[in-house]
Structure formats: structure tokens, C-alpha cells
Amino acid sequence: MEISLSSSDTRGKGDLVDAVNTDDRISTLSKDLLLKILSSLSTKEVVRTSVLSKRWGDVWKETSEIFMDMRYIKISRYLFIDFSPYAAGWMTKVINDHSGNFERFTIYHFAHQCVDGMVEAWIRSLIHVKHVKHLTLINCFGPFVPNSILTLDLPPKSFSHPNLKSLHLGRYNLKDPHGFDNCWNLKKLKLIAVFAEIEVFNVVLMSCPSLEVLVVDLHCHKQSGPLKIENRNLKFLCLSCCSQIDGIEVATPSLEILTVKSLSCEIEKFVIANPNLQFNRNYWVNGKLYPHTSYYISCPPDQDKTSIGHEVMMSEPSEYMKFYASMSVSIDLTNTKEVDMLKEVLAAWPDEMQELEILFKKSNAPRKEGETPIGRTKRKFWEETKPFPNGHFRVHTVWLFNFSGSKEEFALASRLITQGTVVMTMKIQPASISLSNKSEIEAAVTKLKELPKGHTELSIVMF
């Protein structure tokens, strides 16, 4: 229902209208504050603000982040016409009309919305004209062609630009690796449900030597040789491959976290050249694979910032921490920061874990005169009253490797037993037993068996 005012109704209202117009306080705000307001709106809402006033007309063109989800372009209920293809042209206009550079640009689209090299044109414009730093392009399952995979036909060095730091591609077919030529600039690469020949993947990864974070969910057209990941800077690696492949060779000396979601290759053909990442169990048992994470926790006492790998894992716990998965961690219990990092990961785990391997590192950090290893920790986790890591985390089986019976190790094991964290089995394996430490280790294990158990069916054994 519309309400209109006659001329007689509007007489005498001029002063009121002027008062309303002069009370436009939003338009008096600084441009920086206006941009901050726009950053909380959707792309559609941001562009629509241009009709509010002359002041707002061009403000949206300086926003640094754009998120465009073309899946929600609606079909007319009356004409039964799909207007979504027009969204691609509108998206192109948004990119071209923007007056500055982009910090982050995200596009979700359907394959039928992008024809005649539209995606390639976006890539070229966003990277080489608008100098975007973080780019995400996702080709989604569409309502008209649900199984369509869009093939990217990219010219050489399409992703090579010093400003581009992270790239996320989803559900595309890579015709060849040339678009990744000379990609020294990339620090983070996510290839999710990407289809290509195994040789293409290998060349792509070799062309990105500066990567620190790599997340790949690969679909190989045919089984033709192993996937090779060789990178001296890589800190975080998440692997998933639904296709049968001949093997995986990982040579990453700086790698701190390896997460394997699913893998279709034999354990003997999964080779890791990294002395820090260790897992002692075969998670390919009976041809089935539990999602597994191997984490070498490392944080020097004098380092303020946590590792890149830890930041990535904690930023998306639902993505990298799976229900009923397994995990192997290497940790120095005398280092408070490492203990806190382990606590953060376990506390964020969504539900019960299948197996948890804990390998105790022996600290080699220099000590001050008269200081014990325990003395370096400002706050001892076993002196806290709260459960470790929290009151909700549960794990079916725990392995303790390199167990020496130290105060820290005994304290952690006793916490896991008494508070009901371990549900079924705790298995303890000393690194080595000599005459000097045999009695100490056996005494510690005996005391652990005598503790009140959070789960009465829990068994504690030593190998």
C-alpha cells in the first residue's frame, strides 16, 4: 500500500524536509569510517549505497574486500527466466569500476554463469590490474548442470604477481600448469576438488617454491606416477586425494603440520622426508584411512608469535579437525608455550578422537645456572585445577612414546586417566630401558595403574 501526500498536505512541510536533509550525519563521517561501515555489508548492499547521496556515490569503489556469491541470484517466479548469467557481467562491471586495489576478493559462481573466458578475464583483471592479495574462486554445483567442472585455459604467469599472496581455487579443471609459471609470490595455495593430470599438479607445485601453506584435494584423470611435493618453506600441508594414485613423495624439511584427510595409495608408497614428523601407527589398516594429523609442536621460549601452521589449523578447526580421527604430536612438556599450543588444538577438537600419539621430546634449550627444566615454565599445567585440555575432549586410545617417568610426563598421563579423557586404552612405550632408569619408569607406570580412572574399563599397558 502506497501513501502519497497532496499539495495541501505538503504545504508547510518544507522546513521539516530541510531539517531532515541537513541532519544527514552519516554523510559527514570521514571516508575511512564510511569504508569501515561498508566492510560489514554484503557486496550487493555495498554497491546499492551509491544511490543514497552524491557523497556515497563513489565510496564503495574504494572498499578493499569484496565477497560475491552468485548462487543466490534468483530466478523470476513469473517468467521462469534465469537471470543469474547476467550476474557475471555485473561482477565484471564491479571489478572494472572499482577505483583502488583489492585486499581480498571472493567469488562463488555456477559454471553456466561464466562463458567465453569470463573467469580467466576476472583472474587477469583482479591480479594484474587490481593487484589483489587474497583471491578465492569457487565453481559450485549448479541447478542446471550439477556435475559441471569448469576448465581454466590460462595464459602463462596468470597467477604470478608480487601482490598476490594467497589463492584458493575450487572445482576447476586445469588444462595445463602454465598459469602458475614463476609463482614465487604465493605463500598460501588451496586447490579443492581440482581436476588435472598428475604431471600438471607436480609442475604447479614446483612453480610455487615460496609456499608456506598448501591445502590440496586432488582428482587425477589417470594413474601415472607419484605426486611430488618438494618445498623447503612449507609449514602446513593438508592432503586429500579421491583418485587412485601411484604414490606421494613429500620432501619438506620445515613442515610442522601434516593433515591427511583421505588417500588412495598404499602406506608403503607414502614417503615423507621429514625427521620431525613421526607417526608410529599404520593408519592405512585394512585399506581404510582415519583422517590423520601429525604435528611437530615447536615454539622457542623467547618467541612471542605462534607458528604459521598452528595459526592455520586454529583458524579453521572444523576444516582440519575431523570426528573420530587420529593425531600424532611431538612436544616438550617443559616448554609452556608448546603445552599451551597442544591444549588449544585438543580443546578445539570437535568430538571424540580415535587415537592420540604423544611423543615426548627431550629439551635441549640452554638453562640458567641452578635452573631445572621445569623451572623454565612460568605456569605448570599440572598445578591448574581445570581439566586438561578441557572437560569435553575424549580420545579412544592414547600412546605415550619416549616415556621416561618424569614429573611432567607423569602429570600429563595422570590427568588424562583421572579426568576421563582416555576412554579405552593408554599404551606406554619408553624410548629405551637401562638399569639406571628401568625401576623409575616401572614405578611411574605402576602408580598410573593405581590411580582412580575416569572410565572403569580403561586399561594401561607398557611395551
Please say whether the beta carbons of 231 and 206 come within 8 A.
no
| Percent of the chain with pLDDT strictly greater than 90 | 46
Bridge pairing between strands 134-140 and 166-170: parallel
Nearest to 228 by CA among 191, 271, 165: 271
Per-residue model confidence as pLDDT tens digits over 7-29: 344 444 444 344 444 455 666 66
Per-residue model confidence as pLDDT tens digits over 146-191: 567 889 999 999 999 999 999 999 999 999 999 999 999 999 999 9
- Between 4 and 241, name the one with better pLDDT: 241
Q: What is the mean pLDDT of the chain?
A: 81
pTM: 0.83
Per-residue model confidence as pLDDT tens digits over 302-337: 777 778 999 999 998 888 888 778 899 999 999 989
Hey, is 28 helix, strand or coil? helix
Give me the residues paired with residue 462 across strands: 428
Distance (Å, whole) CA 129 – CA 101: 8
Q: Which of 70-74, 108-112, 314-318, 420-424 has the lowest mean pLDDT?
A: 70-74
For residue 157, CA distances in Å to 204, 205, 207, 232, 236 come to 11, 14, 10, 22, 24
Query: DSSP code of 270?
Result: E
Neighbours of 268 (CB within 10 A): 9
Residue type (1 letter), 123: I
Kindly indicate the confidence band of residue 39, based on its pLDDT and cuts at 50, 70 and 90: low
Per-residue model confidence as pLDDT tens digits over 80-132: 445 556 777 878 888 888 888 899 999 998 887 777 788 999 999 999 999 99
Per-residue model confidence as pLDDT tens digits over 234-276: 999 999 887 778 888 999 999 999 998 887 777 778 888 887 8
Per-residue model confidence as pLDDT tens digits over 367-388: 444 444 444 445 566 666 778 8
Kindly indicate the confidence band of residue 58, based on its pLDDT and cuts at 50, 70 and 90: low
Q: What is the pLDDT at residue 314?
A: 93
